[in-house]
Amino acid sequence: MNITAIILALAVMAVLGVLFGVVLTIADKKFAVEVDPRASAIRECLGGANCGACGYAGCDAFAQAVVDGEAPVNGCTPGGAKAAEAIAAIMGMSVDLSGERIAARVVCQGECGVAKDRYIYDGYASCATVAGIAGGPKMCRFACIGLGDCAKACAFGAIEIVNGIAKIDESKCTACGQCQKACPRGVIELKPVNETVIVSCRNTDSGREARAACMKACIACGRCTKECPSDAIHVEGGVAKIDPEKCTRCGACAKVCPCKCIVDFLA
C-alpha cells in the first residue's frame, strides 16, 4: 500500500481547505455589513414563529422594519405586551398597552352529535379538501369541519380538535390569525377576550333549515332581542348579532336562547 499517496491526498485537501478558510475569513472582515445591533436585540424579543401576523416576511424582516421606523413597536401580536415593552425599551420609546387582549374564537358549537352529518368522510384529513366535496361533511354549511387545518396552522399549539370541533386554548392563543387564514369556512374570528358573551353560530339559513342541520344553530327566533336589557342583540340576516359597544355581558340572552347558541363564558 502506498502510504505517500494517502498522505499526499490528505495534505492537498487540507491545504486547499485552510487556504479557502483564510480567504473567507479575510473576506468576512473586509465585506462585513454593519447590522444595527438593535435589530438583533429586537429579534430576540419576538415570538420567533415567523408567523407573518405583523405583515412582514418574518421575524427578521419585522425587526429591521422596527429599527427603520416603519413598523410599530407593538406590531408583534404573538409577542404581546411583553415583547412590545421590551422592543420599546430597545428603541427608547414608550408604548401604549391599554389595548384589549385579542384571541381567536371558533364561532360554532357543531360537535359530533349536535350538528348532523351529511356524509361520513374517510379520506385525507384536511378541511380545505373536504369543504369542496358536496358542501362538506356536516349538514350545516357554516359549521366547523373539525379536521384540524387550524390546529396544523397554529404555531403555538393552542388549538385542539375535541369531539369533531376546534377548541382554542385562550391562554396559549397569541392572535396571530394563522388559524383564521387556514380555515376554509371562516369560522374562526379574532375577538377581544373581554367580550364574554358571544353568538357562537353563523348559520343564516331559515330557522327550520338551521334546526334541521344542527341542534345548536341560531334559528333567528329573536327571544334574545326581547330579553336584552340594553338593546345590544339583534337578528340580522338570519342570525343573532351582539353589538359589543352596548352589551353589558349580563348573559340574559344566553339564558333564554332555546338553541343554546349564545355562549356566556362567565356563566
Which one of the spans 17-25, 67-75, 198-206, 218-226 is the region binding another protein (CB under 8 A)?
17-25
Cβ-based nearer residue to another protein, 33 or 267: 33
Rank residues 14 and 81 by Cβ distance to another protein and give the closer one: 14
Nearer to another protein, 16 or 81 (CB): 16
Q: Residue 128 interacts with another protein (CB under 8 A)?
A: no
Least Å distance between CB 67 and another protein? 14
Q: Which residues pair with 262 in a beta bridge?
A: 199
How far apart CA 83 and CA 77 sit, in angstroms, is: 9
Task: Encode 94-157 in three state secondary structure.
Answer: CCCCCCCCEEEEECCCCCECCECECCCCCCCCCHHHHHCCCCCCECCCCCCCCCCHHHHHCCCC
Does 17 sit near another protein (CB under 8 A)?
yes
Residues in the chain: 267
Among 1, 3, 7, 32, binds another protein (CB under 8 A): 32
Smallest gap, in angstroms, from Cβ of residue 20 to another protein?
A: 4
Query: Does 16 sit near another protein (CB under 8 A)?
Result: yes
In the numeric block, which cell numbers belong to residue 137?
361533511
Which x/- pattern, by CB under 8 A, does the window 64-83 give for another protein?
--------------------
Q: Considering only residues 229-258, where is the footprint of another protein by CB under 8 A?
A: none
- In this structure, what is the dihedral angle of CA atoms 129, 180, 236, 193, given to the nearest 10 degrees? 150
Amino acid identity of 150? C
CA 205 to centroid of chain Cα atoms: 27
Single out the residue of 7, 27, 112, 128 in contact with another protein (rule: CB under 8 A): 27
User: Which of 1, 3, 7, 23 is in the footprint of another protein by CB under 8 A?
Assistant: 23
Residue with cell 344542527: 214
Binding residues (CB under 8 A) for another protein: these are 5, 8-9, 12-13, 16-17, 20, 23-24, 27-28, 31-33
